[in-house]
Structure 1
Amino acid sequence: MKKAIAFTILLAALTSCSDSDTVQDIQTPPETGTPGTDPTVTTISYTKNVKSIIDANCISCHQSGRSAAFRPLTTYAEVKTAVENANLLNRIQLQNGQQGLMPQGGRMSQTNIDLIVKWNTDGLKEN
């Protein structure tokens, strides 16, 4: 009798799954979270995602009165210009020990690099 009840419960559990859910539906959560930590987020913008990375990794040198003041990275326009005209993407993607790596203190995380690259690919949106 116990085996029959257990079998019935198991059978009910297996047949209660909806066949309308595809593997894609199950594996792809709704678009929420933070780009880089949640791969389903697709919109990258300077204000929401890139500014904090630049502030944490670049402006200690790239601002007025600092060693790299000649190439400030304190505003959207300045960072956009650096991506478009000053080889910023290539420099942040260099490996530790390679000439020209930015930031000079060591390579930032691959997640941050990927976000900046995606921001460029997405059209360098501000907001």
Structure 2
Amino acid sequence: MLKKQETANTGRASRPFLVLSMTIAAIVLTACTKKQAQELGPDPDGGDEPVTVTNVSYNNFAKALLEAKCSSCHAPGRGASAKWTFSGYSSVKDNSAKINNAVLVIKSMPIGGSLTAKEIELLDAWIKRNTPEN
């Protein structure tokens, strides 16, 4: 009889843990990443206007894209910094032809990753607009 009661109590004690675990799992699986929130959200500079091919700029799109997709290899002191070093707008502006060729023409970058169709469209538009900063 004692053994039966211990088993019943153990089952009750683990039920809240199971419910909590399932709730956390559901939240984690349905939550969006920071990157997804940036892509879906408004202009990071505080404007409510969505980024389009007609208003794309370094500050509202390219900076975040390059930080997310390029800086892990092309930051100062990193392995690919000999080919190009991402160190802000000037470095991007001065190397926009090289970036265009590697990312949009040859499609050899980013290594180990890819760009979405929207990212490609906006990057192409930004370069065609002569890489405006704002």
Report the TM-score, using the length of structure 2 for normalisation. Answer: 0.56
Of 104-113 and 52-61, deviating more is 104-113
Is 1:56 the equivalent of 2:56? Answer: no
State the match for 2:108 in structure 1: 101
Q: Distance in 2 between matches of 1:112 and 1:74?
A: 20
Confirm or deny: 8 A CA contact 2:76 2:87 kept in the other structure.
no
Confirm or deny: 8 A CA contact 1:101 1:107 kept in the other structure.
no
Confirm or deny: 8 A CA contact 1:62 1:69 kept in the other structure.
yes
Q: Distance in 2 between matches of 1:46 and 1:34?
A: 14
SS in 2 for 1:79: helix
Confirm or deny: 8 A CA contact 1:55 1:74 kept in the other structure.
no
- For residue 65 of structure 1, what is the amino acid of its counterpart? G
CA deviation after TM superposition for structure 1 residue 68, in Å: 1.0
Q: Distance in 1 between matches of 2:79 and 2:116?
A: 23
Aligned counterpart for 2:51 among listed residues 32, 35, 52: 35
Task: Mark the runs of 5 or more structure 2 residues left unpaired by the alignment.
Answer: 1-47
State the match for 2:95 in structure 1: 82
Of 67-76 and 54-63, deviating more is 67-76
Q: Once superposed, what is the RMSD of the aligned Cα atoms?
A: 2.0
CA deviation after TM superposition for structure 1 residue 116, in Å: 1.1
Confirm or deny: 8 A CA contact 1:58 1:103 kept in the other structure.
yes
Q: Distance in 2 between matches of 1:81 and 1:111?
A: 24
Task: Mark the runs of 5 or more structure 1 residues left unpaired by the alignment.
Answer: 1-31
Structure holding more helix per residue: 2
Which 4+ stretches in 1 moved above 3 angstroms? none
Report the TM-score, using the length of structure 1 for normalisation. Answer: 0.59
Q: Deviations over 1:15-40 (max 9, x none)?
A: xxxxxxxxxxxxxxxxx63225xxxx
* Length, aligned pairs only: 86
